[in-house]
Amino acid sequence: MIEVRWHGRGGQGAVTSVELLALTAIGEGKYAQGFPSFGPERRGAPVAAFNRIDDHHIKIRSQIYNPDVVVVLDESLIGMVNVADGLKPEGVLIVNTAKTAKEIAEITKFKGKIATVDGSSIAWKELGVPITNTTMLGALIKCTNAVALESVKGPLDHRFGRVANKNLAAMKRAYDEVKFN
């Protein structure tokens, strides 16, 4: 089983990413869960969301405390929220940033695998808005192979309709541009 925790701000699409990943996994014949955890429900407030994906039925129904992967949609959350809290030492921290993995390691003190991608720039160029959810989904897929990149097209089409292709382009760019330490 792979367990993922997403960190973002209200309105950035973390919950949408969780839903897209879960639907994609289910479409591939896997079992999946996707659920949010809200504090004060307002735009801009920190939000956490979670995924579980497995080849077998998932019986766990709790929040994820020791994820295999953490995805950070908004770099400004680092320091405000301990994004690496509970992240397994062999796990991967994926951050939307223009900084290097080494710089993120120094800030977070996480000693495991770190992946970075400038998801905000990609989103501006491909979507015309700074919403990085589908961009970071591409980075997650590259880092984990949890689902196949081409399998996301159906859920993207269903969720985004006529702008699905722009989201697919952003996702593919992040998949190609993610860097590892």
Low-confidence winner among 34-43, 71-80, 100-109, 145-154 (lowest mean pLDDT): 34-43
Q: What mean pLDDT do residues 148-171 have?
A: 96
Instruction: Select from 10, 66, 60, 73 the least CA-distant residue to 32.
Output: 60
Report yes or no on whether pTM surpasses 0.85. yes
For the residues 16-34, what does the mean pLDDT come to? Answer: 97
Q: Which three-class secondary structure state does DSSP give residue 177?
A: helix
Beginning with the edge strand found earlier in the chain, give each strand of the sheet holding 69-72 in spatial order. Answer: 31-38, 46-54, 2-9, 69-72, 92-96, 113-117, 179-180
CATH level 2 (architecture), domain 2-180: 3-Layer(aba) Sandwich (3.40)
Residue 3 has pLDDT above 70, yes or no: yes
